[in-house]
């Protein structure tokens, strides 16, 4: 009996080609890969099977012999642990990086191999990602996602896990970050100050005289206040992360600042000085969760009795900046007092509705 007839090459270049399915892409379409041989289709098919076996072993053992075996999910975990944890502030680690990676990026890219993620996949992510309510995410959030992805792939390239960064020329739809900022008028602020002093609510009085952040207020100690010079040194912030209290440096380098205050406010503040280390609290610091509950209750009470609108601590900070701007204080001074990292933040917040201030200064 003669030998079976040998198959002819199925390619014009004389090679034998076999296509196999390796999985599905982000749209559910089959991912196909070709394998070639100069001998036979059977040899090409054997190469394909060997490739699939090697890939399965590498995924199971976490071997790093081939860049494509590193999944996005596993690299995200390594990247966070190596490049961010302990490097950035704990609050920033959880709320800027880990929360966005866990909530948005890993659920989408998860098991995909770094080498397989292309620019079109990144663009598709930004086309699809949305909030829990189905609305486009805010521009600041999307910019954060883009920054995280770019940094992750830059580090992956440095570690020979992929060869190029797919995060480029990305465009996205977003909702505007410009929201109506609720602030008190001068008259409302004066009424709130009077009521707060009557109720011994030092925190409200501090916000309206210094413009500090809630985290800075909760981290403020009596040793930070110079009653002779009438200044307050902001040099720490207290935040709650995953139920854990973190006392750390302020938000940015420019947030570490000295704020001058009026003699009248200094005299009022000194009345509250006690043996407790912290300005806000009875025995040590007050936790953000406890403070939030007490703050909300007081605001509702004041609103019911005076009609003054309910604001958040952040809106009280904006009230301070707005009133100072209306008094004619220049934005560079406001930037320093409020601890903005960039003058554009101050300008974007306190200059866009500035026509009345300009009229006063120009005397028109």
3-state secondary structure string, 11-77? CCCCCEEEEEEEEECCCCCEEEEEEEECCCHHHHHHHHHHHHHHHHHHHHHCCCCCHHHCEHHHHHH
Nearest partner of 115 among 73, 148, 71, 158, judged by Cα: 71
Could you write out the DSSP letters of every residue in 279-300? SS-SSS---HHHHHHHHHHHHH
Distance of CA 62 to the CA centre of its chain: 30
The pLDDT of residue 223 is 97
The pLDDT of residue 240 is 85
The pLDDT of residue 4 is 56
Mean pLDDT by 10 residues, the chain (364 residues): 67 86 69 85 89 72 55 95 90 88 94 91 92 81 94 93 89 65 90 96 96 95 96 93 82 88 96 95 92 96 96 93 88 90 76 60 66
The pLDDT of residue 54 is 78
The pLDDT of residue 65 is 45
Q: What are the backbone dihedrals phi and psi of residue 181, each rounded to the nearest 5 degrees, phi first?
A: -95, 115
CB 175 within 8 A of CB 135: yes
Q: Counting Cβ atoms within 10 Å, is residue 147 exposed (0-12), middle (13-18) or buried (19+)?
A: middle
Query: Would you call 222 helix, strand, or coil by DSSP?
Result: helix
Nearest partner of 152 among 109, 194, 183, judged by Cα: 109
Residue with tokens 């977003």: 174
Q: What are the backbone dihedrals phi and psi of residue 286, each rounded to the nearest 5 degrees, phi first?
A: -105, 135
13, 255, 323, 336, 364 from 353: Cα distances, Å: 70, 25, 12, 20, 17
18, 20, 35, 51, 82 from 10: Cα distances, Å: 9, 15, 12, 21, 49
Direct distance between the N- and C-terminal alpha carbons of the chain, in angstroms, rounded to an integer: 110
HSE toward the beta carbon, residue 301, CA cutoff 13 A: 11
Q: What is the CA radius of gyration of the chain?
A: 30
**Where do the domains of the chain lie, and which CATH numbers do they carry?**
16-63 (no CATH), 69-158 (1.10.150.130), 186-362 (1.10.443.10)
Q: How far apart are CA 123 and CA 120, in angstroms?
A: 5
The pLDDT of residue 59 is 59
Residues facing residue 32 across a β-bridge: 21
Q: How far apart are CA 139 and CA 155, in angstroms?
A: 24
Q: Which residues contact 147 (CB under 8 A, 6 or more apart)?
A: none
30, 196, 202, 257, 318 from 335: Cα distances, Å: 54, 27, 24, 11, 12
SS3 breakdown of the chain: % helix, strand, coil, rounded to 5? 50, 10, 35
Query: Would you call 175 helix, strand, or coil by DSSP?
Result: strand
189, 207, 316 from 309: Cα distances, Å: 10, 16, 11
């Amino acid at each position: 009996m003669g030998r079976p007839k040998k198959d002819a090459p199925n390619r014009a270049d004389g090679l034998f080609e076999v296509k196999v399915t390796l999985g599905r892409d982000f749209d559910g379409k089959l991912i196909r890969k070709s394998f070639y041989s100069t001998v036979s289709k059977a040899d090409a098919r054997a190469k394909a099977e060997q490739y699939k076996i090697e890939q399965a072993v590498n995924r199971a053992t976490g071997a790093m012999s081939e860049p494509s075996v590193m999944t996005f999910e596993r690299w995200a975990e390594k990247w966070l642990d190596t490049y961010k944890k302990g490097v950035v502030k704990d609050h920033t680690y959880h709320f800027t990086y880990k929360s966005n990676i866990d909530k948005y990026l890993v659920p989408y890219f998860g098991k995909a191999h770094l080498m397989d993620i292309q620019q079109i996949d990144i663009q598709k992510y930004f086309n699809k990602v949305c909030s829990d309510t189905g609305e486009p995410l805010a521009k600041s959030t999307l910019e954060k996602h883009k920054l995280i992805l770019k940094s992750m792939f830059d580090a992956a390239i440095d570690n020979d896990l992929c060869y190029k960064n797919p995060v480029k020329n990305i465009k996205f739809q977003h909702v505007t970050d410009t929201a109506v900022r609720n602030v008190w008028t001068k008259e409302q602020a004066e009424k709130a100050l009077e009521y707060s002093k009557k109720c011994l609510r030092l925190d409200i009085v501090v916000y309206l005289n210094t413009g500090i952040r809630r985290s800075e207020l909760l981290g403020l100690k009596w040793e930070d206040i110079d009653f002779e010079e009438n200044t307050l040194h902001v040099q720490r912030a207290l935040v709650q992360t995953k139920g854990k209290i973190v006392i750390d440096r302020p938000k940015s380098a420019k947030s570490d600042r000295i704020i001058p205050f009026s003699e009248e406010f200094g005299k009022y503040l000194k009345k509250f000085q006690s043996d407790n280390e912290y300005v806000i609290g009875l025995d040590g610091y007050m936790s953000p969760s406890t403070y939030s509950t007490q703050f909300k209750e007081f605001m509702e009470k004041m609103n019911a009795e005076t009609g003054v609108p309910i604001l958040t601590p952040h809106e009280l900070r904006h009230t301070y900046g707005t009133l100072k701007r209306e008094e004619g204080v220049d934005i560079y001074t406001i930037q320093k007092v409020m601890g903005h990292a960039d003058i554009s933040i101050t300008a974007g917040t306190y200059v866009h509705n500035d026509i009345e201030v300009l009229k006063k200064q120009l005397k028109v």
